[in-house]
Amino acid sequence: MTRLLVSVVDSAEARLALAHGADLIDAKDPDAGALGALPLASIRSIHASLPEGIVTSAVAGDDDDVERLARSALSVATTGVTFVKLGLGRAMARPAGVAALGRRLAGQGRFIAVLFADENPPLTLVAALHEAGFVGAMLDTSQKRGIRLPDLLTMDQLGSFVADCRQLGLMSGLAGSLRIEDIDRLAALNPDYLGFRGGLCLAGDRRGQLDPLAIGSAAYRLQAIRQSRQVDGEQAA
């Protein structure tokens, strides 16, 4: 069932997001780009501020240099978060780059690769990510200028990406300037997570404050979808 990922900048936002229905708390610096990494101390503070058992993630930035990206990811992995997210730029989003990164990270954490839909990544890269030891894959957008993920890829493309992840046992996520009104059609594809920042901020400003009412609305919508599917499944049985 699809769950709600909310990106936060500090422990206060983390507690706010959790209180209003977020399922995964994601530490990220929106002032530093699509996958801007927060300082390690901030990530540790966010993780420590949440009850035990809450799923957390933190971004390690994006880079086309294997060694720099690996060092950042391994540092973030020491903070205690459940998952570390790595942005794969154009040069890295290739089988050779993924393989090299996988060798560098092997056995040292639970890593999720983020592909930027506006950089035309090969969606067939999912198999290489699985082979390299990643536990998940997400689609996002690198340019936060109002162009949303559904503007860049068709529902068939997004559905194929999610299905390929599921077949290989990878966690899947869809993000990229999403709005609450995108939830129904994207949740129909059954990704593990839908990721939000700007769409849940006041005035839609990803660098501004999270809006608790918007978080609650997104969480309520996903919960209603899950409950509807559960009822349909019980009736079918």
CA dist 34 and 62 (Å) reads 9
CA dist 21 and 103 (Å) reads 36
Query: What 3-state DSSP class applies to 57?
Result: strand
| Nearest partner of 21 among 171, 177, 162, 215, judged by Cα | 215
**DSSP code of residue 204:** G
Task: Give pTM, 2 decimals.
Answer: 0.94
CA dist 201 and 213 (Å) reads 10
Q: What is the pLDDT of residue 236?
A: 61
Residue 144 · residue 201 · CB < 8 Å = no
Q: What is the pLDDT of residue 100?
A: 96
Active site (annotated) includes residue 144: no
92-114 tens-digit pLDDT: 999 999 999 999 999 999 999 99
Residue 148 · residue 179 · CB < 8 Å = yes
Residue 58 · residue 32 · CB < 8 Å = no
Give the position of tokens 């609450």: 180
Q: What is the pLDDT of residue 231?
A: 65
Q: What is the pLDDT of residue 84?
A: 98
**pLDDT tens-digit profile, the chain (237 residues):** 899 999 999 999 999 999 999 999 999 999 998 889 999 999 999 999 999 999 999 999 998 899 999 999 999 999 999 999 999 988 899 999 999 999 999 999 999 999 999 999 999 999 999 999 999 999 999 987 778 999 999 999 999 999 999 999 999 999 999 999 999 999 999 999 999 999 999 989 999 999 999 999 999 999 999 888 776 666 665
User: What is the SS3 string spanning 66-100?
Assistant: HHHHHHHHHHHHCCCCCEEEEEECCCCCCHHHHHH
Q: 3, 20, 28, 130: which one is catalytic?
A: 28
Active site (annotated) includes residue 28: yes
Contacts of 226 (CB under 8 A, 6+ apart): 1, 2
Q: 3, 20, 47, 85: which one is catalytic?
A: 85
| Nearest partner of 214 among 9, 22, 3, 10, judged by Cα | 22
Q: What is the pLDDT of residue 96?
A: 94
Give the position of tokens 């809006």: 211
Contacts of 64 (CB under 8 A, 6+ apart): 89, 90, 91, 92, 97
CA dist 203 and 218 (Å) reads 16
C-alpha 171 chain-centroid distance: 10
113-141 tens-digit pLDDT: 999 999 999 999 999 999 999 999 999 99
